[in-house]
């Protein structure tokens, strides 16, 4: 299934993308793409619904973040060896974990706003993993059974805030609009192998990132298991799993986002995003 949320910011309707491309209203069955709806039983109930029996929604409606009421937005740093190299950092021996504020979450096509003082805003196309079943100290062999599905994430970063202002990376990752997710949550049963997905990002029509999840240092199952030993993972938590090379910081000379820029990005089978950058 391809699940999404459509409508005005803060008032999104849970929806399903039918095979014929129509948007179908799920609000009679669930209140949101969140919490218990993402648990295995909740997804099974949604699979039992005939999409043709659901009311159609306006195909031109705004698409919101594909998951509502996200509890934790967990990010993995330097998880592609070639991205670590372009960043001038060593490949980590264990996953590098940092958090992104959930207030950064926005719709996949909403504008990206540069916060006051931003100098080095950057892009990062990433595979998002959405938790479905609670996970605490799970074995790697069982980890994927705790995944509800996958989505596209643009893990936007303000590099000056992240790297030049001291402290942890979270301050450079958490500005409002710096976490577009979606357009869809594609349920795990429709993603044959999350370790073999092509991914890309264009800036103003120029291909900047062109990679694959095949080159991740730590795969999805390993990350879910690893994280679950440090914190419990709950339905609707999102893990953003790192980015391939081609970010602005790695260009020669470095290249950063400016008002008026357009980013278009996507992951194989998970849809595309498009954001225009503007100053706030």
Q: Angle 265-27-148 (CA atoms, 0-180°, nearest 5)?
A: 50
Together in a domain, 266 and 183: yes
The verdict on 16 and 50 lying in the same domain is yes
| 62 in a structural domain | no
* pLDDT of the chain, 280 residues: tens digit per residue: 999 999 999 999 999 999 999 999 999 999 999 999 999 999 999 999 999 999 999 999 999 999 999 999 999 999 998 787 777 778 899 999 999 999 999 999 999 999 999 999 999 999 999 999 999 999 999 999 999 999 999 999 999 999 999 888 999 999 999 999 999 999 999 999 999 999 999 999 999 999 999 999 999 999 999 999 999 999 999 999 999 999 999 999 999 999 999 999 999 999 999 999 999 8
64 falls within a domain:
no
Residue 24 lies in a domain: yes
Let me know whether 89 and 44 are in one domain.
Answer: no
Q: Judge if 158 and 188 occupy the same domain.
A: yes
Query: Is 40 a domain residue?
Result: yes
Rounded to 5°, angle at Cα 64 from 110 and 121: 35
Per DSSP, 42 falls in state H
Are 178 and 275 within 8 A, CB to CB?
A: no
Residue-by-residue DSSP string for 223-264 = HHHHHHTTS-B-TT-EEE----S--GGGSSS-----TT-EEE
- Are residue 225 and residue 175 in the same domain, yes or no? yes
Is the CB of residue 245 less than 8 Å from the CB of residue 211?
A: yes
236, 67 Cβ separation under 8 angstroms: yes
65 occurs within a structural domain? no
Sign of the torsion angle spanned by Cα atoms 95, 99, 104, 106: positive
Q: What's the pTM?
A: 0.97
Determine the longest span between alpha carbons in the chain, in angstroms: 55
| Co-location of 201 and 147 in the same domain | yes
128 and 242 belong to one structural domain: yes
Number of domains present in the structure of the chain: 2
Domain containing residue 234? 73-279
User: Are 30 and 81 within one domain?
Assistant: no
* Nearest in space to 215 (alpha carbons), one of 249, 239, 244: 244
169, 257 Cβ separation under 8 angstroms: no
Do residues 183 and 240 both lie within one domain? Answer: yes
């Amino acid at each position: 299934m391809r699940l999404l949320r459509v409508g005005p910011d803060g008032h999104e309707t849970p929806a399903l993308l039918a095979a014929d491309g129509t948007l179908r209203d799920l609000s009679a069955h669930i209140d949101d793409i969140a919490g218990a709806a993402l648990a295995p039983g909740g997804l099974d109930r949604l699979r039992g619904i005939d999409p043709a029996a659901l009311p159609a929604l306006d195909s031109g409606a705004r698409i919101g973040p594909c998951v509502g009421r996200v509890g934790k937005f967990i990010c993995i740093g330097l998880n592609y060896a070639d991205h670590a190299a372009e960043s001038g950092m060593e490949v980590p021996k264990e996953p590098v974990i940092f958090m992104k504020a959930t207030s950064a979450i926005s719709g996949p096509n909403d504008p990206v706003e540069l916060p006051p003082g931003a100098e080095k805003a950057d892009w990062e196309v990433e595979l998002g993993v959405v938790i479905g079943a609670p996970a605490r100290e799970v074995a790697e062999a069982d980890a994927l059974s705790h995944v509800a599905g996958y989505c596209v994430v643009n893990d936007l970063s303000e590099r000056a805030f992240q790297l030049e202002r001291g402290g942890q990376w979270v301050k450079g990752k958490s500005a409002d609009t710096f976490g577009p997710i979606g357009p869809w949550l594609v349920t795990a049963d429709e993603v044959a192998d999350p370790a073999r997905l092509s991914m890309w990002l264009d800036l103003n029509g120029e291909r900047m990132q062109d990679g694959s999840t095949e080159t991740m240092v730590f795969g999805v199952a390993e990350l879910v298991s690893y994280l679950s030993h440090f914190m419990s993972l709950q339905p609707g938590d999102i893990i953003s799993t790192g980015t391939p090379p081609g970010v602005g910081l790695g260009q020669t000379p470095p290249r950063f986002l400016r008002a008026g820029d357009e980013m278009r990005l996507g992951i194989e089978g998970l849809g595309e995003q498009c954001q225009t950058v503007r100053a706030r």
